[in-house]
Structure 1
């Protein structure tokens, strides 16, 4: 990688790390480009040479998080031949600080998108691309466990995402009463074995 490209990649990485923290702490609207730049130790010029605006920065964070999650799921369930073997990979690690920051930032941004239809369309497109990748993983998993038929894998991916996000929210609010992954471990086996969806 050329030196200029390395410098740009480092700047992008620093801006994304700073933005994740600031979005989580202050919300999408409360986060200023100035604060993100200050936290990253970079100038506004560095920001605008890499991102058009805060939304573009959030979508870069979204895609990076999606890549990590798909890779994690792929590694966890690629060899699973039973639902039980896949459970640990599908439940995730809601305990990590990074997962908490991502949940806060993405929830705030989702509220912003709901209020702004054009942003909602862009978010829906990023969500769709993530679901497409999840359906590929689910297709391989179901073939390994001998699941036949033609399940609606897009709807299943939506349900799995909703279960993950909703359960994580409840675990973050009541960590002593609901450990991360508890709801998924309890209900995912029945969902994955269901014949109709």
Structure 2
């Protein structure tokens, strides 16, 4: 492959991903065509198919990129936490932090999840990507608890599932009633007592 094409490929891929996220959030996953994504990004269908085999593959690339950003952000915040923040409440603050841009991602991922519930193959693939995200979340969670002098009394992966369920369920209510329930409020209210009940002090 010519060097020029090799150098352009990451930029093309990034532009298609950015375009797809905006189009999916605005119009929906199913209602957005590959042509609309390409037009919005300024590329041809050929450029699309040089990077992705389908809209599903493109979505999963978006999923992985979003997961990496979230985990990297949490990891950076945890690594930079001072001694005063190495507490359960400090962990709660990290888990309750929700960026304004999260709304677009919530719209996109919720619709794709519904699609996956109806399509067994899509469900299987999404589950693999979910598992990788949970593994990273579990690692960050256990590392912070260890540094805070706490140990889990429940399975870490199951706790990660619960935390994700609380986050996604809370966001659904927050985006419907933003004035009544700001994003992250449920986590700030209930995660500290929950984590206290599910951990013990390390020897």
Q: TM-score, normalised by structure 2?
A: 0.90
Which shifted more, 56-65 or 143-152? 143-152
1:136 to 139, 164, 183: 139
CA contact (8 A) 1:76 1:89 kept: yes
Is the contact between residue 75 and residue 140 of structure 2 (CA under 8 Å) also seen in structure 1? Answer: yes
Determine the C-alpha separation between the residues in 1 that align with 2:87 and 2:6.
44
Q: Is contact 1:167–1:183 with CA below 8 Å preserved after alignment?
A: yes
Q: Secondary structure in 1 aligned to 2:30?
A: helix
Q: Quick one: distance in 1 between partners of 2:19 and 2:117?
A: 24
- Aligned partners of 2:12 and 2:47 also within 8 Å: yes
1:74 paired to 2:54:
no
The answer to whether structure 1 residue 23 and structure 2 residue 24 are counterparts is yes
The ranges of structure 1 where at least 4 consecutive aligned residues each deviate by more than 3 angstroms after the TM superposition are none
Give the aligned CA root-mean-square deviation in angstroms.
1.4
In the alignment, the residues of structure 2 paired with residue 137 and residue 167 of structure 1 have an alpha-carbon distance, to the nearest angstrom, of 21
Q: Could you tell me which residue of structure 2 aligns to residue 43 of structure 1?
A: 44
Measured against aligned partners, the alpha-carbon deviations of 1:98-134 in whole angstroms (never above 9, x if no partner) come to: 2111000000100111110000000000000100111
Give the length in aligned residue pairs. Answer: 193
| Distance in 2 between residues matched to 1:17 and 1:143, nearest whole Å | 37
Give unpaired runs (5+ residues) of structure 2: none
Check whether the contact 1:24–1:102 (CA below 8 A) recurs between aligned residues. yes
Give the Cα–Cα distance (whole angstroms) in 1 for the partners of residues 109 and 5 of structure 2.
31
Measured after TM superposition, the shift of residue 8 of structure 1 is: 0.7
Distance apart, 1:76 and its partner CA: 2.1
Q: Does 1:61 align with 2:66?
A: no
TM-score normalised per structure 1: 0.93
Structure 1 CA distance for aligned equivalents of residues 104 and 198 of structure 2: 36
| SS in structure 1 of the partner of residue 51 of structure 2 | coil
2:151 matched to 1:151?
Answer: no
